Amino acid sequence: MTSIQDLKGYCHPLTPAGRAALCGAPPWHYATEYLNVAYRTDPAAIAACLPEPLAPGPEPDRAYVAFGKWWSLWDGERDMAYTNPERTQYRECALWVGCSFRGTPGQICVLCWVDNDFTLARGWFMGFPKKLGVTHLTEHHPLNPAMGPLGPGTRLKAYVCAHGERLIEATMAIERRIRPTDLPAPMGLPIFNIRHFPSAEREAPAAVLELVRLHAEDLRYGQDLWAGQGVLRFFPSEIEEHLPLAPVEVLGAYRFGSGYTFTGAEVLHRWV
């Protein structure tokens, strides 16, 4: 007779060998090429996304949208980029707002769209509110004679679509190089997320509802970080709730690459 211990895997599907699991256990290793746009929005709209004990951050109107092209591996399958490249790449659009927890400034992802199943599930495990969507970004190749390398004057665009609707669009005109320390908050601040899994029982409280702080190490940045003018447009939707967080003022746009290892999370608070 089979026992539950005979089934293996970090997540579903649990199988005798565990090979079919949608993703492996942390540590998870990432590299990303970003186009981020920082902006100010209605602080009341941000506060409405922050259940106690979360609170608004030191600059309660600050937010940013991050468009990214991602490469990822989990520790048990470091050869996956060779075994199956599709299992290591995805694109994402995430909306972040500033927050704080017991006096510690941070950031939280309140909306997110990705284009692959493994990153959607992995995000849910760590409190990212990921949904399926399609993100497109301008990509420059320095060997293309009509493109040339990135630099002052280069124009970039990114947008995300989901369920047949275009939701958010960003453009950037590169002006200057910057250092990692020039990236504006809440970029780079500690990440707080809300893990939520409903109960299978009708009208029962959530099975999991907790506030976590994510842990990362070995953070690194690419050689070229760029800043410039940005434009950010939010489009109406019959489904999504991003419009209350639409920009009041765009503060700047940023193009850069970074990498890090995600080692897990710490539970800070449980609501149930």
Question: CA-CA distance, 69 to 116, in Å (whole number)?
Answer: 12
| Domain hosting residue 237, numbered range | 32-254+263-270
In this predicted model, what pLDDT tens digit does every residue of 90-136 receive, in sequence order?
999 999 999 999 999 999 999 999 999 999 999 999 999 999 999 99
With respect to residue 8, please indicate whether it lies within any of the assigned structural domains.
Answer: no
Question: Residue 1 falls within a domain, yes or no?
Answer: no
- Residue 153 zone, left/alpha/beta (φ > 0; ψ -120 to 50; rest): left
The structure's pTM equals 0.97
pLDDT tens, position by position, 42-51: 999 999 999 9
- Going by their DSSP bridges, the two strands 28-40 and 130-132 should be labelled as unpaired
Residue 13 lies in a domain: no
Q: What is the mean pLDDT of residues 17-45?
A: 98
User: What is the tally of structural domains in the chain?
Assistant: 1
pLDDT at 85: 97
Query: Residue 111 sits in a domain of what CATH number?
Result: 2.40.400.10
The pLDDT of residue 230: 99
Residue 148 banded pLDDT, cuts 50, 70, 90: confident
Is 164 domain-assigned? yes
Residue 4 inside a domain? The answer is no
**Which tens digit of pLDDT belongs to each residue from 5-16?**
999 999 999 999
Tell me what pLDDT residue 266 has: 98
Residue 247's pLDDT band, with cuts at 50, 70 and 90, is: very high
d(CA 272, CA 269) in angstroms, rounded, equals: 9
- C-beta atoms surrounding 110 within 10 Å: 23
CB 246 within 8 Å of CB 237: no
Mean pLDDT, the chain, whole residue set: 98
The residue-averaged pLDDT of 232-253 equals: 99
Domain for residue 3, yes or no? Answer: no
Within-domain flag for 207? yes
230 part of a folded domain: yes
